[in-house]
Amino acid sequence: MNKDVSCRESFTETLLELAKENKDIYVVTSDARGSCSLGNFVKELPDQFIEVGIAEQDEIGIAAGLASVGKRPYVCAPACFLTARSLEQVKVDVAYSHQNVKIFGVSGGISYGALGASHHTLHDIAVLRAIPDIMIFLPSDGNQTAALLKAVEKTDSAAYIRVGRAGVPQIYADNAPFQIGKANTLREGNDITIIACGETVWHALTAAQQLAEQGVDARVVDMHTLRPFDEEAVVKAAKETGLILTVEEHSVNGGLGAAVAQTVCESYPVKVHCLGLPDEYLVAGDSSELFRHYGLDAEGIFQTVMRMVGR
């Protein structure tokens, strides 16, 4: 992939390939076939597609029922609704009942920026980290999304995969390997470590290049898996760089930053700054405007690191 490709399109294209080979794979959605780029799946495999209408709780329950009889369901819908309207069903029907349901949340974070708080997904990592027995993933580009899906399909565990909406720059090569629970170090550095997830990873890499021009050597770690969490990579970063910045398209409460800070405090205390979205209702604007406004873009990350290193 040499052009910007959305993670949702990469996911559903890969899912279609897998479903053609395995008739036990089903897609369940709540009037979100457009949002999830499911048009080709519906056209080619209509007998493996279930439309429930605008009934998010029902789609989780139906998927859990399918899993209980040996099917391999994927629930595809906007992340904001899956982790709010359907939270009890995710907790009880899927995680607590140990059902092999894969939950694919699209347009996460501030992808629906202009639609306001009802459509923002700033709580999903925090709430799902508090529910046992569900893996949590935030891939950073289309290639990684495809590799992630192929790895996750081989498991029989519940999973939540959150992606954005628009196309994102390519970070990983075609067919790049993916290991569940193992963070990827995309750039080595000794002055500070930037740990990012999802669509903030590209901004972190771009910021690191700008920092290098100012003599600041920044390591960049892609923490694509929030559960199981790669504590070893965090402790290694703390020991080797002594300073950590986390960057996430999520509330500053309970997400990647909280997981990193907890790990560091318990294992090797160093200064950690958590860069995310503030504990307030956000201003209206499209995703790129909000990234810039709240300092999650490359320039914002660059400025935060410069302050942290005393420049």
pTM: 0.96
The distance of Cα 146 from the centroid of its chain, to the nearest Å, equals 13
Residue 195 has pLDDT above 70, yes or no: yes
Residues contacting 152, CB < 8 A, separation 6+: 102, 135, 137, 159, 161, 180
Instruction: Give the residue-averaged pLDDT of 76-103.
Output: 97
Backbone CA torsion sign across 61, 79, 251, 275? positive
* Number of neighbouring beta carbons within 10 Å of residue 77: 27
279 torsion bin: left (phi>0), alpha (psi -120 to 50), beta (else): beta
Beta bridge partners of 121: 109
For 241-256, the pLDDT digits (tens) are 999 999 999 999 999 9
> Domain spans of the chain?
5-168, 184-308
Instruction: Give the residue-averaged pLDDT of 150-167.
Output: 96
Q: What are phi and psi of 71, to 5 degrees?
A: -80, 170
Residue 196 has pLDDT above 90, yes or no: yes
Instruction: Give the residue-averaged pLDDT of 226-246.
Output: 98
For 274-311, the pLDDT digits (tens) are 999 999 999 999 999 999 999 999 999 999 999 999 87
Residue 1 has pLDDT above 60, yes or no: no
C-alpha count within 13 angstroms, C-beta hemisphere, residue 36: 30
* Number of neighbouring beta carbons within 10 Å of residue 308: 18
Instruction: Give the residue-averaged pLDDT of 22-34.
Output: 95
Strand order in the sheet with 159-162: 49-51, 25-29, 72-78, 102-106, 159-162, 135-137, 225-227
184-308 belongs to CATH 3.40.50.300: no
So what's the pLDDT on residue 2? 52
Backbone CA torsion sign across 107, 161, 131, 274? negative
Residue 101 has pLDDT above 70, yes or no: yes
- Percentage of the chain exceeding pLDDT 70: 99
CATH of 5-168, one of 3.10.440.10, 3.40.630.30, 3.60.10.10, 3.40.50.970: 3.40.50.970
Q: What mean pLDDT is reported for the chain?
A: 96
* Confidence grade of residue 175 (pLDDT, cut at 50, 70, 90): confident
5-168 matches 184-308 in fold: yes
Q: Report residue 92 as tokens.
A: 């009880």
* Confidence grade of residue 35 (pLDDT, cut at 50, 70, 90): confident
Instruction: Give the residue-averaged pLDDT of 193-219.
Output: 98
Residue 219 has pLDDT above 90, yes or no: yes
